[in-house]
A = this chain, B = another copy of it.
């Protein structure tokens, strides 16, 4: 049973535009009011405030542990890349040249060669790998870097597309193409585990079509998620680079058979963009809804102080006790004892910030040695007794984590439509995931985009053509594809 109770509707809540009125404005309102981010005084740049940054730290910790468990090590490569290095891989430079920020002056002197602020690091890392790798015994090389990158974007939106963003980029070298491909797939699977397991965002895994591949890749794998407004978000990618970069950067090793061979490389990345997905997948008109595993505050305790001063102090002391006990159970808990705000204001405030669980304690709860747990995801309220309440809380946090994933999965499934002709998507306003056969020609992909604004998001790994013919031209099916309008 779902119940909703609103506190006094006040400014906090009024300031969020409803999703149905203007989804873009809703997004911007939420991230600003929830104190996640602010605009910097430089066009296209954002400031990630502590509440947003903490989420990034939880994502980092989860990813990093899995990278390490699979044998990867972190390293750090230079921010600035000489132009000559960037020019070495032809497709790569073509893909990125329009987005590069250039340093042309260092100190008081103009530089003889301009330096790119890294848009991604295949080139500088490739140059180093070329030095480091001599023998087959040096392989595989499995490194990851947590870093900032800059891509000069025309239209930006905090977390989703900003000129500077934070990310991780993995770069590996292998002896065989099979091993490199297995690495590419393994890292995609790690992304899926973290994005579904921590962020509670269901994803579709697939290959990119040639036109959507990373610049310089032989094969790009992607995870695609469906946002609350029915648009797609590419949320992490993993690239099999073949020998393209190995040849461009001369990454060779002496094999056991005494001959020199080029290595097979991969790269894979995920960024602060995931936080944008998190907001859009789970948020509602009251603000954020955060999955407990990445919530900076998992439980907020709001004391409802009524009656005499002494009674109020007793409630507060009780709330403090509960807080200490939850902290002892490793729950990230905050007690909101701000005297200047009403409980109703606080409810709205923490709901906007997406705190998964609220505990209300008033004089009656104190008298009964109990409390009321209120779930952010469903609004459901449950009275529990103080004895052993920690396990009730942690069980409910687990349930919320699962429930958010389930809700998002249901939304995704409800908005995934199989079609035989792409024009069928029109009646859904081009919102949602559309699945259909494709002849494999880029001309059809171009026509799809030109006519509808939709792009091929991926060729899902677990699907095959149904034989109904290309959704654009009707020619024989080569691939099953997922298409949508995308962020």
Contacts and interface: CB of A to CB of B under 8 A. Distances in A.
A189 to B, nearest CB: 23
A366 interface: no
A217 interface: no
Given A53-B76, A74-B57, A75-B49, A107 B98 contact: yes
A29 interface: no
A147 B147 CA distance: 8
Interface in A102-161: 102-108, 114-115, 117, 124, 127-128, 131-132, 137, 143, 147-148, 150, 152
Given A54-B73, A75-B47, A164 B103 contact: no
A75 B50 contact: yes
Given A40-B77, A80-B42, A117-B117, A103 B102 contact: yes
Interface in A78-106: 78-82, 85, 98-106
A434 interface: no
B48 A79 contact: no
Contact of A103 (B46, B57, B117, B143): B117
Given A73-B54, A105-B104, A128-B40, A78 B152 contact: no
Contact of A78 (B107, B115, B164): B164
A212 interface: no
A107 B152 contact: yes
A335 B80 CA distance: 37
Contacts of A107: 98-101, 152
A307 interface: no
B101 A108 contact: no
A353 B163 CA distance: 40
A45 B76 contact: no
A41 interface: yes
Nearest to A144: B50
A166 interface: yes
A38 interface: yes
Contact of A73 (B46, B50, B147, B166): B50
Nearest to A56: B76
Nearest to A296: B73
A104 B104 contact: yes
A133 to B, nearest CB: 13
Contacts of A75: 47-50, 53
Contact of A54 (B53, B57, B74): B74
A127 B40 CA distance: 9
A251 to B, nearest CB: 14
Nearest to A151: B107
Contacts of A115: 42, 101
A85 B48 contact: no
A182 B75 CA distance: 36
Contacts of A76: 47-48, 53, 56, 166
A224 B47 CA distance: 33
A98 B108 contact: yes
A150 B106 CA distance: 10
Contacts of A56: 76
A67 to B, nearest CB: 12
27 contacts: A38-B131, A40-B124, A41-B85, A42-B80, A42-B81, A45-B78, A48-B76, A49-B75, A50-B143, A54-B74, A56-B76, A79-B79, A79-B117, A80-B150, A98-B107, A98-B108, A99-B107, A101-B107, A101-B115, A102-B103, A102-B104, A103-B103, A103-B104, A103-B117, A106-B163, A117-B117, A148-B148
Q: Top 10 nearest A-B pairs by Cβ distance?
A: A50-B73, A107-B152, A102-B105, A45-B78, A48-B76, A106-B152, A40-B78, A104-B104, A101-B106, A101-B103
